[in-house]
Structure 1
Amino acid sequence: MNLKSHSLFATIIILSFFLFLSFSSQAAKGGKKISSDLFGLFFEDINYSADGGLYAEMVQNRSFEYNPTEQKTWNPFSYWEYVAPGFSYGRINVETTAPIHPNNPHYVVLDVEHIGHEAKYTGISGVGIKNSGFEGMVVKANDKYDFSMFARQLGNEPVAFTICLQTLKGKILAQTTVSVAASDWKKYSATLIPSANCDTANLVILATNAGKVGLDLISLFPEKTFKNRPNGMRADLAQMLADMKPRFIRFPGGCLAHGDGLGNMYRWKNTIGPLETRKEQRNIWNYNQTAGLGYYEYFRFCEDIGAKPLPVLPAAVSCQNSGDTWRVGGTGQKALPMNEMQEYVQEVLDLIEWANGPVTSVWGAKRAAAGHPAPFNLQYIGIGNEDKITPEFEERFKMIFAAVKAKHPEVTVVGTVGPAPDGEDFTKGWKLADDLKVPIVDEHYYTSPEWFISHQNRYDSYKRNATEVYLGEYASWGNKLRNAIAEAAYMTSLERNGDVVRMASYAPLLAKKDFTQWKTDMIFFNNVKINPTPNYYVQKMFSANQGDYYFDKVILKDEKDQNLAASCVRDSKTGDIIVKMVNFGNAPKPMKINLGKFGSIASLAEQTVLSGEADAENTLDNPQKVSPVSSTVKVGKSFNYSAPAMSLTVVRIKTKK
């Protein structure tokens, strides 16, 4: 390319850039700038969402830490079974002397006295243990499964092990061997490749010679996790979330974060580093959390799906519903002693350094050691979760907020205003936010579909250029189509008020069948199947079709009919115009769309419609009974649309540049 042609090429590039800016400006003319982070996800370890759910670990009670404070019938041997095929015999017991790490105190000791003859059916003999996983282990033929365990030789002789996957009848699906010959704790790894599919497999660890050995943190992971991450996520569940294209993920929970009493608060430092050093504990929903899905994994998952991380830390107080107070309105809030507050404030600051600090910083180095030298670019941090706004809470929140604001003004603090859309804590929380000029506060409410329909103007009167809202938890009570469509109507009002509502996320997110503590959830699942509810499809249709400019008076409808709702947004990155129309009524209703203000538009658009019977809902056996239907439709500068009864329609329209 000669100089003249090079100059011409540069001129074309510059002109194209300014033409694009002109196009963007014209397309946005008359639009209102709204949040580009409006719709995201809230993940809480409730309903077995993490262990046995999104976290792909297949072994249950892998570190022998289950105990009766979690479930009355639990003990360190729960979900393990002593096995001794071929008339072998020995003993097992749980010990705590010289564990791998103080955070992981229990381990099993296997004392093998005699190895018998090979069992006729399985062809193996030995003394060992068997794990049934979370209601059975799902394995697929020819896939790879990564086995590991920590072990140490306690007797005079090395101990050889046969590791295998078996059916419930004992048929061997995969088999390998491991030899333990070190007197110190050491990690042993192997790969198992099943010969057939099985939804109820068991993992068997058999010592095949006499000896004594300690075992701990026995693990089995599918190699095919989401994006093939070690210690990663269940691929199909994670993909369901990635498909929503959420702008953020709030984690690790709501009530789980501040916990059932001070000793049960979720402390992020206990959830990073090598798995054997992480601290397991009972969560507030009364089951065990291994912390295998910890802060590093949460941040990495956010990065993998292009969502901003929003960690929520306790405001140095426990949940007001701690102990036996769930049924009496909550009086169990406890506060960290003031002489511990400086250390706790530093814990919050350390998280920001861990997420964003350079590798030369103390906590940035720990992030790098875990495999992520680049910063995670943390932008938001939540302090507190629907707390009772007591003097103790206010005093501690002020200390944390002031410290973060002083040292990390680039990080936006999200405060809290209690568990309800109104009331004493709501009023006190908002006053505190106004006094301190907290950038964002977290509102929560669960209520009826009718409430969502009748409160679509809630945020119209909120003050602009002041504290913004994060609607961190909301849902109508139920997973029928009518619940989802009521939420869709309300979400159009969130878009309309996207200049004051910064973020919103439905809750709870995941629920394992037969292991639920909350009756309304977005996605139900078992080990094999996934049931996306109508609520999921509404959330996905909004989240995957977000815009950063809102346009009024594009969709004409009967303004007196509360069952009708609509919004129009534009994605400035693509130039797409996105129209959303909701009909909560029981008959089709007309709407008129006028796109005259957007310049030239493409004649064909993508249309997605979710509709059906009001009481229709999906199940694990029929997960697509209510699901959206997509098509290509013709559009013009002005066109009419008949919104079906009980429906959400999204039309995505390309603009011509």
Structure 2
Amino acid sequence: MILQPFFLPFLASIASAINLKVSSTGGNASSPLMYGLMFEDINHSGDGGIYAELINNRAFQGSREFPSTLEPWVPVGNAVFTLQNTSIPLSSALPTSINVAPGPLSSNAKIGLLNPGWWGIDVKPQIYTGSFWALCSYKGNFTVKLQSNLTDDVFASTDIASACQPSKWVEHTFQLEPDLAAPTINNTFVIEFDSGNGAVNFNLISLFPPTYNNRPNGNRPELMEALKALNPSFLRMPGGNNIEGDIFHYPWRWNETIGPLTQRPGRPGTWGYGNTDGLGLVEYLNWCTDLDVEPLLAVWAGMYLGNDPGHILSPEALAPWVDDTLNELEFILGPVSTPYGALRASLGYPEPWALKYVEIGNEDDLYTNGSSTYAAYRFSMFYDAITAAYPDLTIISSTGDYTAVGGNGQTATWTDFHIYSRPDTLVSMFDNFDHVSREYKTLIGEYAIVQENIEGQLEGVNWDLPKFPQPVWIGAVSEAIWSIGAERNSDAVVGMSYAPGFQNLNSYNWSPDLVSFTANVSQTVLSTSWHVINLFSNNRYTSTVPVTSDTSIGPAYWVAGISGEGKYTFKTAIYNTTSTVPFNITFEGVAKGTSGLLTVLSAPGGLSGNMLDGEGVPTDIVSKREEELVAGSAGEFGFELEQWEVAVFTT
């Protein structure tokens, strides 16, 4: 993609009002996908994050990269742990289990196993639904409970009669309902049994709190609500780098993420930990249904992360993966008369999902020979096969250089543009999309401000230097300006999504992130960037309209749109000024006495951000003020904005 920087002036001072005239016609239709979401399991955003499973290492899944482990399980009583691959596995996908045996000093006392969850378990007065599989001859009771890790307090407990058999794995289900909330998240889940009856093998030990829309195997409600508040239009999933696999060559395999949890082997993710794949293809599609957003499915395109030998597949090796993608699409879209449509129906989904968008790969211009092989054969192998079978699907190229595109007119592919930057640099690219292709439209699949400015220089990111630990206000303002630049070019830009979306504050390897969280549901931190997206995405319009100005762009940046007669929306952000910026705006057809609403976001300083304070309470440094304005004698609206303010005005 050709970049033509819009160079920033020195700090500007505005001597007189910026006079703007907004037309009622003459613009372009706005994309209904303008603001969306991007998700991959990074920063424990899936396992230990939005996927609501409370048990950490529930099924002892392992791989060459991350072997099976007993962590973080802790023996109860005099129990002795052993990882075992029994002659009778729970399934071929989950062959490894934990053997819990009495130690030499057990003397018929209770023994068992304890799990601390994903850096804690939030115990509330609500129903927790759990299960475990056991293989043994034990005929007594199992006791399951939620208890404090600091005191002797037990918040909920129930007994389950053993249904164990020595030659068959048996599932045991239960519910726990605490009467009171625990004062902290330093709590554990425990299974106990009488030691005098010998050892027990356990596997797939699971505990869920209530989930969003009460979905079985579902998502955390408060994190889903944080996304829903952004009024998103699409979800790009399941990645991201996490679909590709690294030097161990474990790409995301859709068919290993569907069906019963007993049939999901998991895989080593590309962000430093294993994925259970409890959050699988069906769960992603249900996520889209629950948020009423369009699924944007990314499929692996034959490139592993890294430059090791074999990191890019040959055409011959890639062909089965193309076929596998067609199977995945048949699973999503096919009638029940097809093999994979029938498989979908057997899982309880007879009706196809509505899928319109498929991205071939992720950042396939990275690494040695990535771009050249993508343009030479990898993109076209997928594109030709998919469009032949599903001509109505919109195909997205994962590179932004137009070397791998297809179709024309309504069938033209989109390109995926990713940018991580510094505030000044991103603002300098405000007019970038004035100069891009209108034939092959652009999806801004990932964007974020990750490092601070370098005085006097418009530099890109230095990945050897630290990144912001959380989004900061000057970054959010520059992202607002970037968004305004995208909205102005709605005939070229189809949508945008901040990345990454989530950060578990207890374990992360990327920052900044849109939403941060812990096991404590009250510790959800909505970033400064979240506030800007929330404002802009909830104030959409159906068409852009021209704006005539008596001054040039900067330090004020703007876009205007209309959604029916007299229903205007004006968005603006202020960057790089030493003085107040006054506006005087008229809208065609809006008469004297008409009222409008001005909403302004501001913050104490450019480098301020939202985080947990010393008491563990989320801060919110973003101030929001609203003001009703009335049009003057000539139909004009007047208001003033300050440095680093972001505003929306609606009539």
1:80 counterpart (73, 85, 106): 73
Instruction: Indicate the percent of aligned positions where both proteins have the same amino acid.
Output: 28
With normalisation by structure 1, the TM-score equals 0.84
The alignment status of 1:373 with 2:361, answered yes or no, reads no
- 2:159 is the counterpart of 1:165: no
Go from structure 1 to structure 2 and tell me whether the alpha carbon gap of 1:331 and 1:650 turns closer, same or farther (over 3 Å shift): farther
> Per the alignment, in what secondary structure is the counterpart of residue 279 of structure 1?
coil
CA-CA distance at 1:158 after TM superposition: 2.7
Alignment of 1:85-124 (within 5 A): 92-112=82-102
- Asked if 2 retains the 8 angstrom alpha-carbon contact of 1:524 and 1:620, the reply is no
TM-score, normalised to structure 2's length? 0.85
Partner residue of 1:177 out of 155, 159, 165: 159
Question: Partner of 1:615 in structure 2?
Answer: 607
For 1:222-621, list aligned pairs within 5 A: 222-223=209-210, 225-261=211-247, 263-319=249-305, 322=306, 334-388=311-365, 389-393=370-374, 394-417=376-399, 429-433=401-405, 439-464=413-438, 466-477=439-450, 478=468, 479-528=471-520, 529-553=523-547, 556=549, 558-560=551-553, 562-571=554-563, 576-585=567-576, 586-597=578-589, 603-605=595-597, 607-621=599-613
SS of equivalent to 1:138: coil
2:322 partner SS: helix
Decide whether the 8 Å contact of 1:569 with 1:578 is kept in 2.
Answer: yes
Q: Which amino acid aligns with 1:406?
A: A
Q: Which moved more, 1:207-216 or 1:109-118?
A: 109-118
The correspondence of residues 606-645 of structure 1 with structure 2, limited to 5 A, is 607-621=599-613, 623-636=618-631, 637-645=635-643
Gaps in structure 1 of 5+ consecutive residues: 1-26, 119-124, 323-329, 418-425
How many residues end up aligned between the 2 structures?
A: 589
Q: 1:117 to 1:402 in 2, by over 3 A?
A: same
**Contact 1:608 1:630 (8 Å CA) reproduced:** yes
Structure 2 gap segments, 5+ residues each? 1-22, 451-467
Which is bigger in relative contact order (C-alpha 8 A, separation at least 6)?
A: 2
Kindly state the Cα deviation for residue 34 of structure 1 after the two structures are TM-superposed.
Answer: 2.5
Q: Give the 3 Å change call, closer, same or farther, for CA 552–248 of structure 1 in structure 2.
A: same
C-alpha RMSD of matched pairs (Å): 2.6
CA 1:397–1:98 in 2, change beyond 3 Å: closer, same or farther? farther
> How far is 1:28 from its partner?
6.2
**1:557 CA drift (Å):** 6.7
Offset of 1:97 from its aligned partner? 3.0
Structure 2 counterpart of 1:61: 57
1: CA distance, partners of 2:274 / 2:430: 39
Matched, 1:148 2:136: no
Does structure 2 conserve the Cα–Cα contact (< 8 Å) formed by 1:159 and 1:213? no
Measure how far apart 1:576 and its partner are.
Answer: 4.0
1:363-413 residue CA offsets vs partner (Å, 9 max, x unmatched): 223333333332220000111111133443331221111001111011111
Shift of 1:593: 2.0
Higher helix share: 1
Code of the residue aligned with 2:421 in structure 1: it is: T
> Does the 8 Å contact 1:583/1:647 carry over to 2?
yes
Q: Partners of 1:432 and 1:91 in 2: how far apart?
A: 53
Deviations 1:235-259 (A, max 9, x none): 1111000110101011112111112
Q: Is the 8 A contact 2:379 2:404 kept in 1?
A: no
Following the alignment from structure 1 to structure 2, what is the Cα–Cα distance between the partners of residues 494 and 619? 28
- 1:456 offset after TM fit, Å? 0.8
Q: Distance in 1 between matches of 2:483 and 2:79?
A: 63
Equivalent-residue separation in structure 2 for 1:317 and 1:220 (angstroms) = 36
The residue number in structure 1 matching 2:11 is: none
Q: SS of the counterpart of 1:82? A: strand
Question: Which deviates more from structure 2 when the two are superposed, residues 175-184 or residues 230-239?
Answer: 175-184
Change (3 A) 1:68 1:408: closer
Distance 1:632 1:333 in 2: 60
Secondary structure (helix, strand or coil) at the match of 2:535 reads helix
1:148 maps to a residue whose letter is: S
Residues 367 and 570 (structure 1), Cα distance of their counterparts in 2 relative to 1, 3 Å cut = farther
Deviation at 1:111, TM superposition (A): 3.4
Q: CA 1:211/1:400 → structure 2, altered by over 3 Å: closer, same or farther? A: same
- Cα distance in 2 for residues equivalent to 1:482 and 1:104: 48
